[in-house]
Amino acid sequence: MQIVFAASECVPFAKTGGLADVVGALAPEMVKLGHEVTVYLPFYARVRRHIEGEPQFAARSITIPFQSYNRFVGIVDGGKRDGVRYYFVDCPELFDRQELYGTRTGDYPDNSERFGLFCRAVLESCKLLGVPDVFHIHDWQAAPIAIYLRTVYASDPALKSAAVVITIHNAGYQGSFPPTTTEQLLLPWDIFTMDKVEQFDHFNFLKGGLVYSDILTTVSKKYAEEIQTPEFGEQLDTVLRARAADLRGILNGVDYDKWDPSTDGNLAAHYSADDLTGKLSCRTDLLHAFGLEKIEDTSPVIGIVSRFATQKGFDLVQQIAGQLSDRDVAVVVLGSGEPIYEKFFRDWAFWHQGNVAVQIRYDDALAHKIEAGSDIFLMPSRYEPCGLNQIYSLKYGTVPVVRATGGLDDTIEEWNPERGTGTGFKFSVYEAPELLAAIDRALEAFKNRKSWQRLMLNGMARNYSWKQPAREYAAVYQEAANRRA
Ligand code: ADP
Ligand code: GLC
């Protein structure tokens, strides 16, 4: 089959979170299964940096109409990598910026136009360069593809038989804009109703995607159930329940070509389940990178790598911070995001310079070092559609402590010291003492080196490669295409 992926992120070109990892790894995996895959991304400033020399255009100028003006976009040919074709939608006035979605002061005010244009450009480009059997669209930024296809493009002979699969990577981000977005994107007002794109008097991109796509997927089985409830549905649970028969949970895989301690180029030493000795050098290297050289060998190192968003549960960490840093541990934190959490982590590190250290930024190499050099990895998320870091942690022999939600619950099994089974530590109720209790179980287990090693090896033996999920996506594409036919 021919598949077009449309997304706002994809490694190695542009990443703020796990979406980029998933798009960048699933696409080549689908090629391995014999499908033809094209990925469309906006041509952000940072994507340009991946192009050698002058950009080559597959299409020089495509007209995208707006109410009282046109924009003219180019389609940059990003060439083929691992069998995947990359096309970048070039519209410098909208995409040639430092960030993907906004700056520290807030979202870009023209995001509805930016991603509306991106979606329309993908459709127009496909008419020139190849219409797929299935559009696989990711998150709210690509959701207008489904809206356009089933409204203003519904009678287009070139596009009408193309199926659409939407993947929800995070229902907490919906792309909610003023009602006039309907006119801005040249869509008919009759779709601005509660059963279509309207949500609390706003034009909701994600909701439109959920209504108009043939099949809906999300990134773990647990999250597929959770988002149908008021607690996790982010107000879209009604729509999701209405489409429950078309909603599938497919757990993300991870890319072991990039995330494997036996080959990872970012590490001070390599190691594997057969020979763990290198992990000690990684720990020393990590403590050095964070200026915590004085930490004793017997103290466990707790790592965090994350976007600092409310989703990630750092308000719980804040509540236990004092108690945790008084224990015999080192804490290393890498991340950036909401100022309130940046300030909290900075302050925590300032007051506990002996054993807490934080680096506020995005740094891929350091993220790898933390996965390898830590003993425990902390993800107390309020909700987590899938989560990739805990899966990386398993492979790196770093024991996850997680909240039992979404993909965290699906991928981590509680350690049972009597039987020697399990891969980590979980807590369910979203309360600080529960988190502290889970960490304390981990710290207790760490004292017994022999059983701790068993726990590490249990995790390292788990396999979350893309092989199985890719097959599940292929089946979903087939089902969607059959329905259209
Ligand atoms: P989310 O997509 O919600 O942010 P995931 O766990 O799915 O959560 O994926 C996060 C990805 O982003 C991981 O690959 C992680 O290593 C990476 N990441 C997050 N914050 C940083 C950072 N500050 N520096 C480097 N990598 C980061
Ligand atoms: C989102 C989710 C995360 C998931 C990622 C990739 O950003 O927050 O849980 O792993 O998308 O699907």
Domains 2-253+466-484 and 277-460 are alike in CATH topology: yes
Ligand 1 midpoint to CA 307 (Å): 6
> Which residue type sits at 324?
L
The helix/strand/coil state of 306 is: strand
Give the residue, out of 389, 392, 395, 398, with the most ligand 1 atoms within 8 A of its beta carbon, to mutate for a pocket test.
389
Name every protein residue with a CB atom under 6 angstroms from any ligand 1 atom.
17-19, 21, 305-307, 334-336, 362-364, 367, 386-389
- CATH topology assigned to domain 277-460: Rossmann fold (3.40.50)
Q: Return the sign of the alpha-carbon dihedral for residues 227, 42, 464, 337.
A: negative
Ligand 2 atom closest to the Cα of residue 219 is: 12
- 70: which strand partners? 65
Residues in contact with 35: Cβ distance below 8 Å, sequence separation at least 6, in sequence order: 1, 2, 3, 474, 477
Using 70 as the pLDDT threshold, list the residues of the chain that sit under it: none
Domain residue spans in the chain? 2-253+466-484, 277-460
Residues in contact with 164: Cβ distance below 8 Å, sequence separation at least 6, in sequence order: 134, 135, 137, 145, 146, 149, 212, 213, 214, 215, 480
CA dist 315 and 432 (Å) reads 8
Q: Exposed/middle/buried for 19, CB within 10 Å: 0-12, 13-18, 19+?
A: buried
pLDDT at residue number 104: 86
Please determine, looking at this structure, whether the domain spanning 2-253+466-484 carries the CATH number 3.40.50.2000: yes
pLDDT at residue number 202: 98
Q: Which two tokens stand for residue 316?
A: 């719980």
Ligand 1 midpoint to CA 255 (Å): 14
CA atoms within 13 A on the CB side of 335: 25
Q: What is the pLDDT of residues 214-252, one digit of tens each?
A: 999 999 999 999 999 999 999 999 999 999 999 999 999
Secondary-structure percent of the chain, ordered helix, strand, coil, rounded to 5: 40, 25, 40
CA dist 205 and 196 (Å) reads 10
Phi/psi at 337 (5° precision): 150, -130
Phi-psi region for residue 332, left (φ > 0), alpha (ψ -120 to 50) or beta?
A: beta
CA dist 441 and 127 (Å) reads 57
